[in-house]
Amino acid sequence: MKWTIHSLRVTADSNGLRLDQYLADAIDDLSRTKAKKIIDLGGVHVNGRRVRSCSLSVNAGDSIDVYIDHLPLDPYRVAGEDIIFQDKYLIVLNKPAQVDTQPTHARYKGTLYEALQWHLRDPFRLHKKADIGMVQRLDRGTSGLIVFSIHPRAHKEMTRVFLEHETQKGYLALVHGRLPQPQGEIRSLLARSRKENKVKSVEKGGKEAITHYKVLEQLGVYSLVQVEILTGRSHQIRAHMSEQGCPLVGDVRYGGQREVGMQKVVRPLLHATILSFPHPVLSQTMDFTLPVPGDMDGILRQLRGC
């Protein structure tokens, strides 16, 4: 999904206008109501700093950048059904697709991190932020299991557990085509190509990425694949599947298509179904599993002729 970026310079005749009014005047087809929502989400940066006050007065010469990610303008909030597990030290969530894990230029409010801050807020100390450790990230389009540490006693040990790969992270992916073997290992060095705006395997200079896969089902020209990653590199599954000639359905950046039959796919069909790790404080293993979400299940049913 591409962002729209507006880079503006305030002229003398706009000096003193409210920020929301200025944006509505300066950007075609942007209403003042929509401008207020974009500001509130955190998509407006004045002189390089994120600003979330609609009433801020702009000054001649100000540089204003407006980032629009074309996602819903109503911010995501953690719902009861999203919480898989919570104790004093941890929270495990079922992340919805199309929600960013961490803040982006286009939004702070409504990201998983901010929504968790809101969920964990102290009603008697609203200005004190919750103490959250982010040890895991999922791409915007990826749904499923994700864990955060939420207590100082848990942060350091959770970081160690993930850095030393004492976790099991399993995914279901629907991909185009057929993989070369019914199961196998993909091992490479991954590096980000700024020119292509994606991650790819390189001969040297990248970070080691190890992916295990097993084909669960052949569905015509598609394959349902169980994937386990032994490393947690950015876009690891997406890059490795694409380089096997089997990009994820819906993953346009890595060569996937956005349609299955007559049905449009709005995100890469990747779902985190398994998460296992040792509790950072208590002496027990935490094991979680999830079924596929509704959008992915609907496409699988269509391919199976259900």
Query: What is the extent of the structural domain holding 119?
Result: 80-304
Q: Which residues of the chain have pLDDT under 70?
A: 1, 123-127, 306
- The helix (H) or strand (E) run that includes residue 262 is none
Per the confidence metrics, is the pTM higher than 0.75? yes
The pLDDT, as a whole number, for residue 127 is: 64
CATH of the domain at 43: 3.10.290.10
Kindly state whether residue 128 falls inside one of the protein's structural domains: yes
Domain boundary pick from 40, 68, 96: 68
What gap in Å lies between CA 248 and CA 269, rounded to an integer? 6
The pLDDT, as a whole number, for residue 306 is: 62
Domains of the chain: total: 2
Regarding whether 64 and 103 lie in a shared domain, the answer is no
List of residues 6+ apart from 136 with CB closer than 8 A: 146, 147, 148, 162, 232
What gap in Å lies between CA 81 and CA 88, rounded to an integer? 19
List of residues 6+ apart from 38 with CB closer than 8 A: 23, 44, 66, 68, 73
The pLDDT, as a whole number, for residue 40 is: 97
What gap in Å lies between CA 79 and CA 91, rounded to an integer? 13
Which of the residues are catalytic? 139
The pLDDT, as a whole number, for residue 2 is: 75
Regarding whether 113 and 11 lie in a shared domain, the answer is no
CATH of the domain at 262: 3.30.2350.10
